[in-house]
Amino acid sequence: MTIRVTGTGSALPEKKVTNFDLEKLVETSDEWIQKRTGIAERRVSGGETVSSLAAEACKKALELAGKNAEEVDLIVVATCSPEFLLPCCACQVQDLIGASRAAAFDLNAACSGFLFALDTVYAYLHSGIYQNALIVGSEVLSKLVDWKDRGTCILFGDGAGAAFVEASAEDIVRDNGRKAGIECMLQGSDGAKGMVLSCEERAVNNAFMPKQPTENPYVRMDGQEVYKFATKQVPACIQETLGKAGMIVNDVDWFILHQANVRIIESVAKRLKADIAKFPMNIHQVGNMSSATIPVLLDECNRAGRIKEGDRLVLSGFGAGLTYGASVLVW
């Protein structure tokens, strides 16, 4: 059975916030931010929501796949910043795009969310339960950021990316002899280190217990610990995933990585002994959009024609939890 991505889409808020804009809010500078992160600007919601961005990205993915919403079997939205606890964002997206036949649910693995959703959908499709699915990573992180904390507010942006995935009983062999579709995947978690990147929800507070102190509703991060985890775990995860598939780094044409920090991406490339030219980046323009980074970058590369049929891709990233994952696929 072939399970492959047949359409991609993305959506970004209209408002751009540059490093020079942030200089007016916190003690920082464009030079300082770019040197440490590679970020020059990011998109910030001016009213766009997680569900509206997700729906726009889904519509574009369906259009590219040549499908309509009524044909969708399953919608999985990866997000850590929904507007509502109930209903889930995926059900809102279902309504917004008119996918009345689809089952829908959310998934939260933070920045690894799109990868975890892709693996989940693969299991559904491979088992024959569904024939296709929309996978979306969508975030409005600007509402979770303390805009007085220069350690975090410089990093994050808002946006959504989507992929339409289909199952086929027939193998699709590309001109270079590679069979199209998802070849291998791996995901993992290290909960013992989870609090190095956190954001509190509402505290337990009811009529039968003393009033609790006001919670801190903003993202908190130990940047050094996150950096050490990412630069060690991501290349190890990629190597393990390729090994499971009987491949090596040189078999890969493109590494589509979570866009958290340019220095992390450069470190991963160095540890893999891979050409940095194989690591496309858009962090300069959009920052870290958590679960949306990988699908947005994938859509950009797809629409720009950088990814060709038969190219082998590695999608990989890490996130709060701590979580990590990688998927190998042929376009």
pLDDT digits (tens, 9 = 90+) for 309-321: 999 999 999 999 9
CA 169 from centre of chain:
28
Pairing verdict, β 181-189 and 323-330: antiparallel
Q: What fold characterizes domain 181-203+213-330?
A: Peroxisomal Thiolase; Chain A, domain 1 (3.40.47)
Are the C-beta atoms of residues 158 and 289 closer than 8 Å to each other?
yes
CATH 3.40.47.10 domain range(s) in the chain: 2-168, 181-203+213-330
pLDDT above 90: residue 1: no
pLDDT above 70: residue 214: no
Mean pLDDT, to the nearest integer, of 171-181? 93
Q: Which class would CATH give 2-168? A: alpha beta
pLDDT above 80: residue 212: no
Q: What span, in angstroms and rounded, lies between the C-alpha atoms of 46 and 321? A: 29
Which residues are designated catalytic? 111, 258, 288
Q: What span, in angstroms and rounded, lies between the C-alpha atoms of 237 and 125? A: 24
CB-neighbour burial class of residue 259 (10 A; exposed 0-12, middle 13-18, buried 19+):
buried
CB-neighbour burial class of residue 180 (10 A; exposed 0-12, middle 13-18, buried 19+):
buried
CA 124 from centre of chain:
20
Residue among 116, 155, 163, 156 at smallest CA distance from 136: 163
SS3 (DSSP) at 323: strand
Give the pLDDT confidence of 75-115 residue by residue, as tens digits: 999 999 999 999 999 999 999 999 999 999 999 999 999 99
- What pLDDT, on the 0 to 100 scale, is given for residue 307? 97
Structure tokens belonging to residue 249: 């780094």
